[in-house]
Amino acid sequence: MSKAHQPYPALPELTDGERIERSQAAYDQLKARRSCRDFTSASVPREVIENAIRAAGTAPNGANHQPWHFTAISSPETKRAIREAAEAEEKRFYGEDGDKPKAPDEWLAALDPIGTDAHKGFLDTAPWLIVCFAQRKGGIEEDGKTQNYYVNESVGIACGMLISTLHSAGLATLTHTPSPMNFLRDICGRPAEEKPLMIVVVGHPSPDATVPEHALRKKPLSQISSWL
């Protein structure tokens, strides 16, 4: 295996003040990001989705195995199939199928301020669904055999970069994680060594979309950081 190296890519020459300004601008942009649960059906160009997935594909990852796959879905039929399968699982989760909820009371209580339930209309209203898969095996050649490393960490970072890029493009997003979600592997035709991690719903917020006030509470810097 080649061990050749290339020079580190040049970074912009900035003053400390300019770095502070850029970091503040990035924070100001990202702090406006909110999960959206009410979308319009207005179209989003495929090229936007392609660029966002390309950005996700630049994420740091274990041994450069790039253990991710993103299935971008605009087909109404496929989105409908995903919604139906997801809502079936969600009804069991919330106990809306007549049985005892799969979710413990503590979890349901934590979700109550958000106001979520088993109905996931956004899954076939939004123009795009991006199903994010974690490849447990495959390596960079995707041979289905080579062990991948730090898979959840790598794919989690990639998903964050995907969402950040979509937000920068002026789009609303939602991460949806029905449990269990193996049905996504079947619907998307992905191999057994891939684990569906989340659905990223992408589109334009509807005029009456709202954000729960509970979701506006963010921990302050003093609570989320330590300085040694």
CA distance 129 to 188: 11
Query: What are the structural domains of the chain?
Result: 36-207 (3.40.109.10)
Query: Is the pTM value of this prediction over 0.85?
Result: yes
Structural tokens at position 209: 């979309």
First-to-last C-alpha distance (Å) of the chain: 40
Joined tokens for residue 133: 């898969």
DSSP β-bridge partners for residue 134: 68, 195
Q: What is the pLDDT of residue 1?
A: 56
> pLDDT 10s digit of each residue in the chain, 228 long?
568 999 999 999 999 999 999 999 999 999 999 999 999 999 999 999 999 999 999 999 999 999 999 999 999 999 999 999 999 999 999 998 888 999 999 999 999 999 999 999 999 999 999 999 999 999 999 999 999 999 999 999 999 999 999 999 999 999 999 989 999 999 999 999 999 999 999 999 999 999 999 999 999 999 999 999
In this structure, are residues 82 and 182 in contact, taking their beta carbons and an 8 Å threshold?
A: no
CA–CA–CA angle 16, 6, 59 (5° rounding)? 65
- Please state, in angstroms and as integers, the Cα–Cα distance from residue 170 to each residue in 4, 60, 83, 111, following that order: 40, 24, 25, 27
